[in-house]
Structure 1
């Protein structure tokens, strides 16, 4: 039985009717609505609130105005059977429970309140829509004494007509709905009424555009229903209204004072919150679709690399610079930023926590810093999606903030053990709660660490990034144990933002203190610049100028090794920062075989795929010791490349952890990089002078991470093509 055959009650009935789930009766004080309900097939029979009908019902749904609830319940009470599920669809629940208690003397175990989050500004049974509840939330609000069997039945009933069902406490429901539904309706009614009674009302409505129409659409809803809603949910509505008017007063003051930064902060946070809402809505209404397409890149032999190029900014440094700018005091401008998908994940996470980040161009940002511990608690878990670098940069930052936060991700980051980075967070004093130990998702409860001491020996480059970010939050400074080497790009970047960094033979020390905003140009990506240099060295007639390099000790060692084995390279001098910054010129030259010690192999492990290609074209046999001592992901890349060498008829073998490569001319053919961008670039380099065309499969990740590959290849004369 549906009591109240309006738009909601009628839609509920019609949804059940079309699915053949129930025999439907309806009660309504308007006889015309009942007649229309029968004639249009929404219900089967008209009924009355009498013993004849009520006693035989399996389910009774109250779709009446909330202020009429007590009267209807009093009519139903004498004939209501214990087995009958009694529920409602009202948008306030506290008043419904109060009405039930006033009529029955207690909350009946078979009365389970509910509320579908769906509707329209139309009313009456002719507005009934059988699809109204599809992919919309339906909230069930049982109380302590509710019959669990009937609670389950109500869940199944809503699911049967397409709703996503959740349970919620009555009081929590009323406060949530006061914010998400009741307040917007109140604002819409009040705005339209205020403008309608203004001196310029005719022109206001005449020239109002789509924004006014969209915002005020809900002011066309049933006035009687909404009057009753506000009276029934008075306390929660007033609390929400007070909160809103306080923020509105802040906005008025910002406009009056010309405080653009405050306004921009509110607008940015609001946009981020609404974007999050739309993402949730999209997840509910659209089934996820996986991209199963395969992208390949082919490279033709006999290319020539000529010209001057400014390479995209280093991806890792882009993540770090944006995050440090967000944690600084003041406004920073960042140029040559790599704005790939992963960096956008970091930007979105920071925006979700209140940071204003303006996009000035395809590679430049303006970041309004909030201070080291000035981030705000996000409205939802931070989603790192599939960005490894976002994970390593942001997790220690979140562990240093003054609020609890949950972090999740998409496959393949989800449920993957990451003991190293979570051990780092534990050393910061953070408490961690997992669904599966040392895996995302995680809930982080921060604690202020006095000092931080952490060993970087054998750490991955990403964990090193995490350790430097964690060091910023130690109140008395941080000491990071590391192997002797020159100044890194991360250390230079930290110093640009005012961090005092000192390096000894075995440690890097970070002093505590606030970060200071800075204007920073991100230097070129190390792997991309090394790859370009290798191409120019291999291709006869090449002369390449790279203008924006900042080589640290590791990158310098790669270029120095190329030069040592015959490459024609002009490199900049070491600058005051400790980096080799400036222009690098590379021309074709024949390369000779080389040998790497275990220590050199470890130092150059990130760039080993490119060195393997250099060895494939060098005269003689090259040898690299210590392959078996590398972290598994670096060793796997080398092993995959050795397999690729066999396919293009280059002799390469690993024995007792030593890789030997005989220089020759590759045959060419079809290779698979297994979605690894670093392998893809190495395989492209392997094919630039091969005897036939070389095609590399599974290059989606490469093109996502190196978005300018096509354009730069054409600009410089590299003959490669993308196929899907």
Structure 2
């Protein structure tokens, strides 16, 4: 019989749920003429009557010789006898494959029957199934969005291998290749061991003294965990016998970890238990994300806008969550310390959450107690554990800059990946810093993600930093210096503010010098630290009060050292009246102050000043929009590109709603003028969105700020803050 369908004549040997589903999918799509062979005559009859196959067949010469593809869907222990039956009649150009969940035993059976595995025999295994069995359980959609593993052998025919890939894709599977031994160890861990545990748990509890009450009061968790104990016992007996070595290796590993958990319970070691539970939760969440991406793809992000009405006034008293930059670094320093650290007022949202999750994925126990209070059980500078998956920094450049140097100092290889715009961002200066210091990091073309980090000796982090070093690059250099064999010396103009020095000294890191900064690496010590209010939110709310008539706002726990000192020196020059209400206190010299409505004056910032205030330029530029007279900002084009991009987006928005901003000879000129209002597109930049909200509050007719997803990720309670202060702002999807 000659068949012109894509896959020709296909024989399914074993019309169970897997074999029947494969046949039904091909048949419904008209991709093959389907034959079925099964020792159970009733299954063959049902297969034809339910439309799963076209013809029943026997494993005789007439059938085998006309087949283009033969798929063995029998129990793994039956493979040898089926192969022996097929062997005398098998054509060399017929693709012979299987769907067994163990590959080593199948290859061994083929080798025993044929003397050596033939070139047209290519094993395979779909990662799909259900507890049901038999041809009546056949589901033509069973393999869609599921993985199918192909395990080619050294002598496999490449054309037939390509055909097998196309065959699996035809039934909707995502196909990957894997060697036989690796497959069996992976499946022993991901599939075989869970079934063994489920069977054993149910059997143990069924024979317990209180078995009736155990089953009577068991909740959903017991049902979900033990669901797979309803699978075919004969099949799983055969699987464990066929994959004995890999299963035992995985079982031994689990037994060791179970013994550790038992000891943690005996010793009431809550930190160890919490660490296991958080790492396990992270691993399962990672698995669910992968599964979701395979089944439905990446979800479409909703566009979120914030509308700001005119004629608001802000009043009251507020303390903001901790400074984001300090939160990132404090979490990392505490994780690398010896001992336990207690951190207060930590910002645990947005990008900081990404850094914290990465640390948890690498074995750091971080306990949360609400309102930004965390307890971190440090693992030491080189005590991080290899994560189960690549470290994903998502779209957080800050997380990348701070995590990459500490990964370079660990004793395990790791891959760092990202998402969105970060994938197309070159990190030339960061990579130059790392490789110049002896770190082993490879990247995608053009110095872009993903990065692969392998263990290496960090020799020295001395010299001048590449380019015009951003605060993130400076932090990278400081963290990398913790792993250097000798003291690190940074020459030239490097901005290490008092906040950074204070944070590092709190964990036992010694720094000295200014023009030539010297960092002495030593073991880190756990610390107790309360972080000051986030400075971006402090300046934003202070300028809101200054711009809106009738406003009077008190802001608490604000750091007056480092970047804060510079800003609080600048604001009075713009006409802002700051009334300090307390003396400096604590590690970060925090104070409270009150600010009210005032008439602003234009400012002129030199390139050096623009560099110093670079993180706050969008807010300062908006203040200049409403100031009397002209303002100018020099040297913006000399900053790293993302600062310039930020300001370009801001200028476009201001001019769009009636402001007056002009670039002249590389200098930004702003003429004070109250804009009419309208639509503002932040282009997904959180700092631009924050500045546009400030701009909108004083526009004559208010404004709508588009693309606010990022700022609401960074400050999830932003709408709540606005309402509490009295700003008429609302979120719209």
What TM-score comes out, normalization by structure 1 length? 0.95
Provide Cα deviations, 1:158-181, integer angstroms capped at 9, x if missing partner: 111111111111111111111111
Is the aligned partner of 1:371 residue 2:380? yes
C-alpha spacing 1:644/1:29, structure 2 compared with 1 (3 Å): closer
Alignment equivalent of 2:642, drawn from 633, 650, 653: 633
Q: Which residue number in structure 2 is paired with residue 618 of structure 1?
A: 627
Is the aligned partner of 1:47 residue 2:60? no
Query: Comparing 680-689 with 512-521, which one deviates more in the overlay?
Result: 680-689
Is the aligned partner of 1:325 residue 2:331? no
Alignment equivalent of 1:401, drawn from 401, 405, 410: 410
C-alpha spacing 1:644/1:129, structure 2 compared with 1 (3 Å): closer
C-alpha spacing 1:83/1:586, structure 2 compared with 1 (3 Å): same
- Report 1:459-498 matches (<5 A): 459-483=469-493, 487-498=497-508
C-alpha spacing 1:22/1:628, structure 2 compared with 1 (3 Å): closer
Q: Which residue number in structure 2 is paired with residue 355 of structure 1?
A: 364
Equivalent residue pairs, number: 722
Alignment equivalent of 1:720, drawn from 712, 717, 729: 729
Q: Which residue number in structure 1 is paired with residue 5 of structure 2?
A: none
- Report 1:263-282 matches (<5 A): 263-282=273-292
Q: Is the 8 A contact 1:669 1:695 kept in 2?
A: yes
Q: Which residue number in structure 2 is paired with residue 701 of structure 1?
A: 710
Q: Which residue number in structure 2 is paired with residue 566 of structure 1?
A: 575
SS at 1:413 equivalent: helix
C-alpha spacing 1:20/1:513, structure 2 compared with 1 (3 Å): same
Q: Which residue number in structure 2 is paired with residue 544 of structure 1?
A: 553
C-alpha spacing 1:660/1:93, structure 2 compared with 1 (3 Å): closer
CA drift of 1:367 comes to: 1.9
C-alpha spacing 1:484/1:81, structure 2 compared with 1 (3 Å): closer
Q: Is the 8 A contact 2:16 2:73 kept in 1?
A: yes
SS at 1:688 equivalent: helix
- Report 1:576-655 matches (<5 A): 579-655=588-664
CA drift of 1:486 comes to: 7.3
Q: Which residue number in structure 1 is paired with residue 698 of structure 2?
A: 689
Q: Is the 8 A contact 1:637 1:679 kept in 2?
A: yes
Provide Cα deviations, 1:201-220, integer angstroms capped at 9, x if missing partner: 22222222222222222222
Q: Is the 8 A contact 1:373 1:402 kept in 2?
A: yes
Q: Which residue number in structure 1 is paired with residue 173 of structure 2?
A: 163
- Supply the distance in 2 between the matched residues of 1:590 and 1:17 (Cα, whole angstroms): 78
- Supply the distance in 2 between the matched residues of 1:308 and 1:338 (Cα, whole angstroms): 19
SS at 2:367 equivalent: strand
- Supply the distance in 1 between the matched residues of 2:86 and 2:153 (Cα, whole angstroms): 20
Q: Which residue number in structure 1 is paired with residue 299 of structure 2?
A: 289
Is the aligned partner of 1:120 residue 2:150? no
Query: Comparing 327-336 with 130-139, which one deviates more in the overlay?
Result: 327-336
Q: Which residue number in structure 1 is paired with residue 4 of structure 2?
A: none
Is the aligned partner of 1:711 residue 2:711? no
- Supply the distance in 2 between the matched residues of 1:186 and 1:643 (Cα, whole angstroms): 63
CA drift of 1:405 comes to: 0.4
C-alpha spacing 1:125/1:491, structure 2 compared with 1 (3 Å): same
Q: Which residue number in structure 2 is paired with residue 513 of structure 1?
A: 522
C-alpha spacing 1:650/1:269, structure 2 compared with 1 (3 Å): closer
Q: Which residue number in structure 1 is paired with residue 195 of structure 2?
A: 185
Provide Cα deviations, 1:237-265, integer angstroms capped at 9, x if missing partner: 22222222222222222222222222222
Provide Cα deviations, 1:1-37, integer angstroms capped at 9, x if missing partner: 1111222222222222222222122221111111111
SS at 2:66 equivalent: coil
- Supply the distance in 2 between the matched residues of 1:481 and 1:178 (Cα, whole angstroms): 54
CA drift of 1:484 comes to: 7.1
CA drift of 1:534 comes to: 1.6
- Supply the distance in 2 between the matched residues of 1:712 and 1:17 (Cα, whole angstroms): 60
SS at 1:81 equivalent: coil
C-alpha spacing 1:594/1:248, structure 2 compared with 1 (3 Å): closer
Q: Is the 8 A contact 1:429 1:446 kept in 2?
A: no
Query: Comparing 173-182 with 453-462, which one deviates more in the overlay?
Result: 453-462
- Supply the distance in 1 between the matched residues of 2:728 and 2:221 (Cα, whole angstroms): 49
Q: Is the 8 A contact 1:100 1:107 kept in 2?
A: yes
CA drift of 1:381 comes to: 1.0
CA drift of 1:628 comes to: 4.1
- Supply the distance in 1 between the matched residues of 2:156 and 2:574 (Cα, whole angstroms): 80
Query: Comparing 593-602 with 236-245, which one deviates more in the overlay?
Result: 593-602
What TM-score comes out, normalization by structure 2 length? 0.94
Provide Cα deviations, 1:563-601, integer angstroms capped at 9, x if missing partner: 134321024788587854211221222233333333222
Q: Is the 8 A contact 2:582 2:593 kept in 1?
A: no
Query: Comparing 89-98 with 658-667, which one deviates more in the overlay?
Result: 658-667
Provide Cα deviations, 1:650-676, integer angstroms capped at 9, x if missing partner: 444343344433334333333333222
Q: Which residue number in structure 2 is paired with residue 139 of structure 1?
A: 149
Q: Is the 8 A contact 2:474 2:496 kept in 1?
A: no
Is the aligned partner of 1:656 residue 2:665? yes
Q: Is the 8 A contact 1:54 1:76 kept in 2?
A: yes
Q: Is the 8 A contact 1:492 1:577 kept in 2?
A: no
- Supply the distance in 2 between the matched residues of 1:215 and 1:579 (Cα, whole angstroms): 49
CA drift of 1:506 comes to: 0.7
Query: Comparing 79-88 with 12-21, which one deviates more in the overlay?
Result: 12-21
Q: Is the 8 A contact 2:350 2:715 kept in 1?
A: no
CA drift of 1:622 comes to: 3.1
C-alpha spacing 1:624/1:58, structure 2 compared with 1 (3 Å): closer
Is the aligned partner of 1:423 residue 2:432? yes
Q: Which runs of 5+ in 1 are unaligned?
A: none
Q: Is the 8 A contact 1:82 1:110 kept in 2?
A: yes
Q: CA RMSD, aligned part only?
A: 2.2
Alignment equivalent of 1:217, drawn from 212, 224, 227: 227
Is the aligned partner of 1:434 residue 2:438? no
- Supply the distance in 1 between the matched residues of 2:533 and 2:288 (Cα, whole angstroms): 35
C-alpha spacing 1:342/1:28, structure 2 compared with 1 (3 Å): same
C-alpha spacing 1:94/1:698, structure 2 compared with 1 (3 Å): closer
- Supply the distance in 2 between the matched residues of 1:403 and 1:199 (Cα, whole angstroms): 47
Q: Which residue number in structure 1 is paired with residue 218 of structure 2?
A: 208
SS at 1:75 equivalent: helix
C-alpha spacing 1:495/1:49, structure 2 compared with 1 (3 Å): same
Q: Which residue number in structure 2 is paired with residue 449 of structure 1?
A: 458
C-alpha spacing 1:17/1:320, structure 2 compared with 1 (3 Å): same
Q: Is the 8 A contact 1:471 1:510 kept in 2?
A: yes
Q: Is the 8 A contact 2:151 2:179 kept in 1?
A: yes
Q: Which runs of 5+ in 2 are unaligned?
A: 1-10
Q: Is the 8 A contact 2:308 2:697 kept in 1?
A: yes
Q: Is the 8 A contact 2:474 2:494 kept in 1?
A: no
C-alpha spacing 1:106/1:507, structure 2 compared with 1 (3 Å): same
Is the aligned partner of 1:15 residue 2:25? yes
- Report 1:58-73 matches (<5 A): 58-73=68-83
SS at 2:532 equivalent: coil
Provide Cα deviations, 1:270-329, integer angstroms capped at 9, x if missing partner: 2221211111111111122322x4433333333222111101222121111112221112
Q: Is the 8 A contact 1:254 1:263 kept in 2?
A: yes
- Supply the distance in 2 between the matched residues of 1:205 and 1:707 (Cα, whole angstroms): 43
C-alpha spacing 1:113/1:610, structure 2 compared with 1 (3 Å): closer
CA drift of 1:492 comes to: 1.6
Is the aligned partner of 1:30 residue 2:44? no
CA drift of 1:630 comes to: 3.4
Q: Is the 8 A contact 2:48 2:56 kept in 1?
A: yes
SS at 1:129 equivalent: coil
Query: Comparing 385-394 with 572-581, which one deviates more in the overlay?
Result: 572-581
Query: Comparing 553-562 with 644-653, which one deviates more in the overlay?
Result: 644-653
SS at 1:227 equivalent: helix
- Supply the distance in 1 between the matched residues of 2:134 and 2:212 (Cα, whole angstroms): 30
C-alpha spacing 1:405/1:484, structure 2 compared with 1 (3 Å): closer
